[in-house]
Amino acid sequence: MNKDTICALATPPGGALGIIRVSGSKTFPIVSTICSVCCDSVTGNTVHYTHIVDSDGEPVDETLVSVFRAPHSYTGEDSVEISCHGSSYILNKILELLVNKGCRMANPGEFTMRAYLNGKMDLSQAEAVADLIASTNRATHHIAMSQLRGGISTKLSQLREKLLKLNTLLELELDFSDHEDLEFADRKELFSLAQTIEAHINHLAHSFETGQALKHGIPVAIVGKTNVGKSTLLNALLHDDRAIVSDIHGTTRDTIEDTIDIHGVMFRFIDTAGIRQTNDKVEQIGIQRTYQAIEHARIVLWLFDSTPTTNEEAEIISHTQGRSLIPILTKADLRPACCKSIEGFDMISISAKTGQGIPALEQAIFAAADIPNLSETDVIITNARHYDALRRAHASIRRVIDGLQVQLSGDLLAEDLRDVLAILSEITGTQITPQETLNNIFSHFCVGK
């Protein structure tokens, strides 16, 4: 492990205050040379008012210095946080002083990497720190917090315990392999346990789709004929003039996307070119993109301003199979709700102009997203690295199950089981993680974290 003492700015530039972090074995002697706090002799977890001074003894800033003594710090090492004024001159000056006294500027994520290497958190928790910093709404915040508190690790360690029990019994058999018919591991029990584990792994892997949707915004396509009010609805939902609205047919030719937060969940709305027969080449491409948007959407808002024809209805319904379809009658301010209902769907009547029906529509969109209850302890996978590991673990446990069905010998079963165990511990990093993987994970962090 790198023994350098590292420093970095932990706050974004431009604020009233800035925080500089220092961590490593030389933290206390180094910081003590630039201020009057004798870090070595003060109690850990204490805050001290002091002036930072430059090498000529000239004051640089009035600051608060927080002292954390190993192992009771974020990184597990001796650490200090200097809160100073946010001037870029002051911040650079203090960093320069620290570097001159023997610190090295930290790499992205290096503080968190040290926290992981010092056993303060496992790998999935360290990754959750980056997600927590990036979270922009209640849902992503909740998932990151749950992962940071060890949600995924707890779930995986439960699975690993079950697997280890199986594996021990199989290994025991191998030790007594000269007694041919000796079976310690009851094959029936093995089979049902392997199936339970497969179901658990499957469940976790499937949550990735929801996790991705929550992280990047649940895709909602707004579709319908030209001039039914699609762009007006997008603007009403966004409370912004994002898309051009006009009574000229075919105004929106490309897809326009933006995100909004509904009840703490991020939705990504895609306004599309209206569907109609046209000879305009650009508009035709736009219409193709409308169909692509429907394909990638989880929810489709189908807008019409008069009773849709049977053909239109059939076409939309066939194109939106497997997605939640919400039929919407627009421009309710122009006429009383007169449209016949669409069989099998709850139709909503709105006026983007007056705002009538918009809250009900937002409610319907939220319900259609079918978000798992975020207050439950259910773990949601959002990380592609975890998803990849789970898929490989699934393939290996599948081999165990298939092997049991064809009465494969204990040694071959044990090999596949060991694979599953190794893959699952990749996620939490409980087995030795190659430096390259660590660098890859932590390089996505911001400097100072």
Ligand X SMILES: Nc1nc2c(ncn2[C@@H]2O[C@H](COP(=O)(O)OP(=O)(O)O)[C@@H](O)[C@H]2O)c(=O)[nH]1
The footprint of ligand X (CB under 6 A) covers 226-232, 245-247, 251-252, 274, 330-331, 333-334, 351-353
Distance CA 256, CA 259 (A): 11
Contact string (CB under 5 A) for Mg ion, positions 197-236, x = contact: ---------------------------------xx-----
Residues 6 or more apart from 52 whose CB is under 8 A from it?
Answer: 34, 35, 59, 60, 61, 63, 82, 84, 94, 97
- State which residue, 331 or 394, has the beta carbon closest to ligand X: 331
Cis amide linkage into residue 372, ω under 30° from 0: no
| DSSP assignment of 42-108 | SPSSEEEEEEEE-TTS-EEEEEEEEEE-TTSSSSSS-EEEEEEE--HHHHHHHHHHHHHTT-EEPPT
428 binds, among ligand X, Mg ion, none (CB under 5 to 8 A by kind): none
Nearest approach, Cβ of residue 428 and Mg ion (Å) = 48
- State which residue, 126 or 228, has the beta carbon closest to ligand X: 228
Nearest approach, Cβ of residue 226 and Mg ion (Å) = 7
Give residue number: closest CB to ligand X: 229
- The helix (H) or strand (E) run that includes residue 195 is helix 187-216
Nearest approach, Cβ of residue 252 and Mg ion (Å) = 3
Nearest approach, Cβ of residue 423 and ligand X (Å) = 48
Contact criterion met (CB below 8 Å) for 84 and 90: yes
- State which residue, 141 or 353, has the beta carbon closest to Mg ion: 353
337 burial via Cβ count (<10 Å: 0-12, 13-18, 19+): exposed
385 binds, among ligand X, Mg ion, none (CB under 5 to 8 A by kind): none
Contact criterion met (CB below 8 Å) for 265 and 137: yes
Distance CA 9, CA 86 (A): 10
Tell me the window of 110-118, 251-259, 279-287, 326-334 that interacts with Mg ion (CB under 5 A): 251-259
330 binds, among Mg ion, ligand X, none (CB under 5 to 8 A by kind): ligand X
Residues 6 or more apart from 225 whose CB is under 8 A from it?
Answer: 274, 275, 276, 304, 312
- State which residue, 156 or 361, has the beta carbon closest to ligand X: 361
Give residue number: closest CB to Mg ion: 252
Q: What angle do CA 276, 256, 252 make, to 5 degrees?
A: 35
Tell me the window of 206-214, 247-255, 278-286, 396-404 that interacts with Mg ion (CB under 5 A): 247-255
Q: Which amino acid is at 372?
A: P
Query: Which positions from 312 through 331 interact with Mg ion, judged by CB under 5 A?
Result: none
- State which residue, 121 or 220, has the beta carbon closest to Mg ion: 220
Q: What angle do CA 46, 48, 52 make, to 5 degrees?
A: 140
Nearest approach, Cβ of residue 304 and Mg ion (Å) = 14
- State which residue, 327 or 410, has the beta carbon closest to ligand X: 327
- State which residue, 40 or 240, has the beta carbon closest to ligand X: 240
- The yes or no reply on residue 252 touching Mg ion (CB under 5 A) is yes
- State which residue, 233 or 417, has the beta carbon closest to ligand X: 233
Nearest approach, Cβ of residue 421 and Mg ion (Å) = 54
Residues 6 or more apart from 212 whose CB is under 8 A from it?
Answer: 382
Reduced to 3 states (helix: H, G, I; strand: E, B; else coil), residue 437 is helix
219 binds, among ligand X, Mg ion, none (CB under 5 to 8 A by kind): none
Reduced to 3 states (helix: H, G, I; strand: E, B; else coil), residue 178 is coil
Q: What angle do CA 60, 64, 65 make, to 5 degrees?
A: 100
Nearest approach, Cβ of residue 333 and ligand X (Å) = 5
Could you list the residues that contact Mg ion (CB under 5 A)? 230-231, 252
